[in-house]
Structures are given as structure tokens and as C-alpha cells.
Amino acid sequence: MSNKRIDQNGPIALAFHVLLTVFILAPLVVVVVASFSDKDFISMPFDGASLRWYREILDAPELISAFWLSIRLAFASATLAAVVAVPAALAIARHRFVGRDAVMAFLMSPMMIPHVVLGVAFLRFFSIMGWTGSFFAMVLVHALIVVPFSLRLTLAAVIGLERDAENAARSLGASRFVAFRRILLPLIMPGVAGGWVLCFIQSFDEVTMTIFVATPGTTTLPVALYHRIAFLSDPVTTSVSTVMIVGTVVFMFALDRIVGLDKVLIGKK
Amino acid sequence: MSTMSLRGLSKSFGNVQAVNNLDLNVEGGEFLSLLGPSGCGKTTTLQMVAGFLPPTAGKVLVEGEDITYVVPEKRDMGIVFQSYALFPHMTIAQNVGFGLEMRKMKRPQLQERVDEALSMVRLSGLEDRYPSQLSGGQRQRVAIARVLAIRPRVLLLDEPMSNLDAKLRGDMHVELRALQRRLGITTILVTHDQVEAMTMSDRIAVMTGGKIAELGTPQQVYDKPVSEFAYRFLGQTNEINGEISVSDAGSTAVRVGSASIPVEASEAPQGGAIKLFVRPERLRICPADNSKVKGKITTRLFLGGVWFYDIDSDIGHLRVSAPNLGAAQADEGETVGIDWNPGDMQVATPEVANG
């Protein structure tokens, strides 16, 4: 008998996990390594290291402005989605009303509908409404496609919550609104915040639909990168990607340190 | 010392009549319990009193003032929940001060009232802790302090002791009762725990099917209940089926098989079926000779403080309880006599089907 512990993986499971991890990480490693190339094209393996493609980012103002646009767009649409999701989650979780299932299905539907279809539809819709190139319209459609994420996490937080605390607050003299702001909202905050973070990431990352509605004035970073790689194929895309990978890791690390990732992503208390 | 009355209070959910035309007067300073099994309508009643549920019909009056449709925050009531419902993101002091803050009380006075409420429940010194740092018993005390701080007109307790372990619960009963007496605050307790209701209450309303089946002091509802329901729900009871027989001399008795049990006069007709109730502790084991009723002990149970004897007797299956005074009075399989005092065998009003 070997003295293998019961919580250890067998050799097959271990091999599977290693392969899976390698498979997930390999493309990221390739991108990071390629970004340090000194050639004019994306090359692997490279034979000369340089930081020229990082300097190059600074000479590409369209990428920098696309980055800020993406940040603003993600911020605004995640916030708008949260503003929609909180009352919707409260209504769906706590009341039985006509059309409840329909409202729920409608708010969740953007997750089911292919983004390509949404992209084509909104391209047409924007031009009819004269909204083409409007940042505000971009916020609306991004909020629409990210709202299911916000709704799911907020709903989980509301369903797990007893009404007693809110009732106790009412009985102690708090109006409906004060009880919401002082008691209910803080209690569901982990869910709302987790939903917001997911929405932010989804919006920032969205390219399939955005590519249809983006105009030269409203180009997001993923769309800008897509265009650049389609026309130029220089390693700037890899250096930008590396900056984003590092930025995300730092952001996630900070989030975990400050509030705990479990709390944000699973809505755990 | 606020009086409260419920007049014809009713609540239905779809086809289900949760509370059915309930009338109840609570005296100022009285401790009244709504006692009943789950689904009897006691919690629904409390929710209507607190203002969380609008009644289908009827009124809630406090000191004669109709508050039936007043929002909860304007009722000046304090409610303690089974879950305690503390605000987890606030400190103990903030929890206790919440009601005062809502009343726009100024800092120094608020501080004073919070200290006072916390000292009443013997929790001084824990002001800056959070609820998650306290034990179950301490959380319970915070919940009580939080409502006492606002000096409510009526105190509502919704199964507040159910989450405590047995020993702590017993201590809390005594302590809360003493506090309630000292403050003279009108209190309604909702519970399914009859020991809790009996130890704490001035009066108990035993509820079933959305109605009050029995109302009286703990001793009244236990010793001389009017309804069969209260007999069965409170404590243990023996039920004996027999028929009325009125003798020529005019005295009434109940015939069970060959035995005849004298009872107080009954309105039931000669030969009519009747049920008699008797508590196990009102029955005594005696020598079999010359006893009214004989029986054979089938099972003997030892519970520490008392013995239970299950006896197959002439008048049906009976349970007799006797205090443990050092030794058992009889063994299993022995034939014994059973005796009781006149008046301990009682007649009750049959349960009517709810409709």
C-alpha cells in the first residue's frame, strides 16, 4: 500500500489538470513574450528583446483614447445595469405579479441572443434613430447586454436575505426608503458590487456587438485592437494586451486584498 | 401602560383563512401569549398588529386609537424576531440607537438612552462590537435592548427564544419576565412553546385554525380548559370515551364499559356519547382492591423527575404520572388500582371542524 492521502489526485487527474492549466496560460504567455520583440511583426520565438512596442503605445493616441472610452463605457453601463437590476431583483424575488416571469426572461435574454444579431439590429436601429456615434447610445446597449450578470448576482443576494431586518427597521421608525438605504442596500451590497464588477469586465471586453455600432468617434479598445491587427499586424497589439493582463492581475489582486474575491464574484458574505 | 384590542381581525390568503374574526383585549402592562401550533394564525396576527400585513377585515386599536392601516414606522411598537434581525453592518450601539436616530434624537440624549437600554439587558461594554462577534444569547439581548430603547407602547415578541439552547432559554424567560414587569410594558408573545407561554404570561390565548380556542391565565387554560383542543395541545391528557347516564336521584355519571364515573351535571342527553379528560398527574396508583378502576401496567418510563405508567385499564388506555420520590410504585405487568379526586375528570367542548 502506498501512503497516498485521500485528498491527493491520482496521476491521470493530475496530468489532466496540468494540461488544462498549460492550455489556458499558453496563449497569454505567447502574447506577453511576443510583446518584447524588436521586429516589425509578431514573431515567436524572437531573437532580439526590446521595449519599443511599449513606447509605440504612447505614439498611438487612438489606442489610448479607445482605452479611456472603454473605461468610461464600462463604468457607465455597469452602473446603469446595477440601477436597473436592484429594483428588478427586489420585485422578482419578493412579489408575485402578472408578467413576473416575462420580465425576468426579458432581462436575462441578452445573454441568450447572439451578440452578432444584436450588433446588426442596433446598427440599423441607431441609424434610424440618428444615434450613430452617440456615446450615450453605446452605454444603453452595453447596459442591456451586461444587465443579466448584474441581475443574477443581485437576485442571489436578495433571495438569501430575510425580510426581518428590514421589518425591524420599519418598526423602529424608518420609512420604506430609509429602510432600503440604511439596511437593505448595505446587506445586498456584496451581490450588487459583484454584479457591477462582472458587468464592467463584460462591457470592457465586448467586441462582437460593439464592432457593428462603433464609429471612428466611439471606438472601444477591443474594437481598436481588432482593426489594428486586421490592417497592421505589428506587435503593438501584444504590448497593449500585456498591459491589460498586468492591469487586470493588479486590479484583481487589489480587489481580493481589499474586499475578497469570493465576496465580489460569488456574492458570499 | 397601553391597552390594545383586536376587533374582528381577519386575514385570508386566497382561499386560506389564516386569521378568522379574532377578538382580543390586552390590558395595559399585561403579558399575553398567543400560543398554538404552526399554521394556527398566531404569527399572521402579530404581523397585522406590527403593521407588516394589512388585515382583510377588522381593526387594531391601541389606547382606543385605530391603527389598523397605519404604517409600521408610525406605530411606536417594538418587535423582536426569532432571527433577532440585527443589522450586521452596524455596531451594537448603532443597532440599539437606530430607533432613536429615526426619532431624530440628539447625540448626548441618544447616547444616554442606548447606555440605559444596554445596561437593562446587562450588555454594557459591548457597544463597539458587531453582531457577528456576539453569542446567540447576547444577540437576543441586543434585539431586546434595541426595542426597549424607543420605549414602545407595545412590545411584540415573535418566537424570540426559539434559537437559544434550553438552559439559556429558561434563564431568559425569567429575566425577560422580570424586565417586562419592572417596565410595565404591554407585551404580546407569539410562541409554540407552552412552557415559555406558561412561565411568562399573565394570560394565554390558545389558537387554532385562525381563532382563539381558549383564553385565560396559565393555570386556567391548563387545569380547566373549556375546549378539547386546549386539553390536547397543552401538556398530556387522557381521553376516555363513555356515555351519559343520569340516575334516578338526578346525579350524572359517565358509563365506560362496566365502570361508572360520577361527573358534574352535563347537558348531554341520557345515553349520549361523551369524552372525559384527565391529566396524567391527577391520576394516582393505588392498591387494586376496592379501587374504582383497575388496570395492568404495560410500560413504565423514568424521566428523572417523574415516572410515567402506561396502564391498560377497565376504562381504556391511561397514562399516570407520579413524582419520583425515590422508588417506583409498581412494576410492569402488575395489576394496580387507579384513583383520582372528584372533579379531576372533566368534560370539554368538542372541536368543531374549521369552516
Q: What average pLDDT does this structure show over B172-185?
A: 93
Q: Do residues B19 and B9 make contact, with C-beta atoms less than 8 angstroms apart? A: yes
Cell matching residue B154? 407595545
| Nearest by CB: A171 against B77, B84, B89 | B77
Averaged pLDDT for residues B17-25: 95
Radius of gyration of chain A, Cα coordinates, nearest whole angstrom: 23
Name residue B316's beta-bridge partners: B313
Please answer yes or no on whether B73 and A175 come within 8 Å at the CB atom.
yes
B52 in contact with chain A, both atoms CB, cutoff 8 A: yes
Stretch among A52-66, A96-110, B259-273, B280-294 having the lowest mean pLDDT? B259-273
A45, pLDDT greater than 70: no
Residues belonging to chain A: 269
Of the pLDDT bands very low, low, confident and very high (cuts 50, 70, 90), residue A50 is confident
Task: Tell me the percentage of chain B whose pLDDT exceeds 70.
Answer: 96
State the best of A94, A170, A171, A177 to mutate against chain B, taking most chain B CBs within 10 Å.
A171
Distance CA A264, CA B45 (A): 39
Q: What is the band of B83 on the pLDDT scale with cuts at 50, 70, 90? A: very high
Instruction: Give residue B250's region: left, alpha or beta (phi > 0; psi -120 to 50).
Output: left
Virtual torsion, Cα B321, B323, B325, B331, nearest 10 deg: 10
**Which residue of chain B has the CA closest to A173?**
B73
User: Does A170 reach chain B within 8 Å, measured CB to CB?
Assistant: yes
If you count residue pairs, one on A and one on B, with CB atoms under 8 Å apart, how many are there? 63
Check if the beta carbon of residue B243 is closer than 8 Å to that of residue B272: yes
Under 8 Å between Cβ of A201 and A153: no
**Closest CA relative to residue A165, chosen from B79, B190, B77:** B79
* Mean pLDDT within B5-24: 95
Give the model confidence (pLDDT) of A207-248 as tens digits.
999 999 998 888 999 999 998 888 877 788 888 999 989 988
pTM of the model: 0.82
* B81, B83, B150 ranked by CB distance to A172: nearest: B150
Q: Which of A164, A165, A173 sits opposite B102 (nearest CB)?
A: A173
Asked if the Cβ–Cβ distance from A167 to B52 is below 8 Å, we say: yes
Alpha carbon distance A217, A215 (integer Å): 5
- Residue contact B81–A164, C-beta within 8 A: yes
Convert the pLDDT of each residue in B150-165 to its tens digit.
Answer: 999 999 999 998 888 8
pLDDT of B355 reads 35
Residue A1: is its pLDDT beyond 70?
no
Q: Beta strand pairing status for B31-35 and B203-208?
A: parallel
Q: Give me the mean pLDDT over the B92-113 stretch.
A: 96
**pLDDT tens readout for residues B314-351:** 898 999 999 999 888 889 999 999 999 888 888 877 76
Supply the DSSP symbol for A49.
B
Q: What is the pLDDT of residue B2?
A: 85
Q: What is the pLDDT of residue A229?
A: 86
- B46–A contact, CB cutoff 8 A: no
Query: Is B353 a residue whose pLDDT tops 60?
Result: no
pLDDT at A9: 77
Nearest CA in chain A to B74: A173
Q: Find residues 173-192 of chain A whose CB sits inside 8 Å of chain B.
A: 173-176, 178, 182-183, 186-187
The grid coordinates of residue A75 equal: 463604468
A chain contacts of residue B78, beta-carbon cutoff 8 Å: 171-172
Q: Give yes or no for a contact between A34 and A44, defined as CB atoms under 8 angstroms apart.
A: yes
Strands B284-286 and B335-339: antiparallel
| Alpha carbons A150 and B346: distance in angstroms, whole number | 64
Query: How far off is chain B from A165, nearest CA to CA, in Å?
Result: 4
pLDDT at A2: 55
Under 8 Å between Cβ of B310 and B319: yes
Residue A53 banded pLDDT, cuts 50, 70, 90: confident
* Grid cell digits, residue A259: 474586499
Give the pLDDT of residue B351: 63
Chain B residues within an 8 Å CB radius of A174: 73, 98, 102
Whether A269 shows a pLDDT value over 70: the answer reads no
Q: What is the DSSP letter of A181?
A: I
pLDDT surpassing 60 at residue A51:
yes
Q: CA-to-CA distance for B355 and B340, rounded, in angstroms?
A: 37
Inter-residue contact B304 to B247 (CB < 8 Å): no
3-class SS at B309?
A: strand
Contacts of A178 in chain B (CB under 8 A): 102
Asked which of A155-164, B77-86, B296-305 is least confident by mean pLDDT, the reply is: A155-164
3-state class (DSSP) for residue B3:
coil
Distance CA A161, CA B85 (A): 11
What is the identity of the amino acid at A122? F
For the segment A145-177, what is each residue's pLDDT rounded down to a tens digit? 999 999 999 999 999 888 899 999 999 999 999
Q: Do the strands B273-278 and B335-339 form a parallel or antiparallel pair, or are they unpaired?
A: unpaired
ipTM of the complex: 0.84
- B54/A contact by beta carbon, under 8 A: no
Neighbouring CB atoms inside 10 A of A122's CB total 24
pLDDT at residue A266 tops 70: no
Nearest-Cα residue of chain B relative to residue A175 = B73
pLDDT given at position A265:
61
How confident is the prediction for chain B on average, in pLDDT?
91
Q: What is the pLDDT of residues A62-100, one digit of tens each?
A: 889 999 999 999 999 999 999 999 999 999 998 888 889
Cβ atoms of residues B280 and B236 within 8 Å: yes
Q: Name the pairing type of β-strands B57-62 and B4-13.
A: antiparallel
Cα distances from B21 to residues B10, B37, B204, B215, B236, in angstroms, run: 5, 18, 18, 15, 29
HSE-up (13 A, CA, CB side) for residue B204: 29
Question: Do B98 and A167 lie within an 8 Å CB cutoff?
Answer: no
Q: Would you state the pLDDT for residue A4?
A: 63
B contact test, residue of A163, A164, A172 with most B CBs within 10 A: A172
Q: Give the residue on B whose Cα is nearest the Cα of A177.
A: B73
Looking only at the bridges linking them, the beta strands covering B252-256 and B293-302 are: unpaired
Question: Is pLDDT of A187 > 60?
Answer: yes
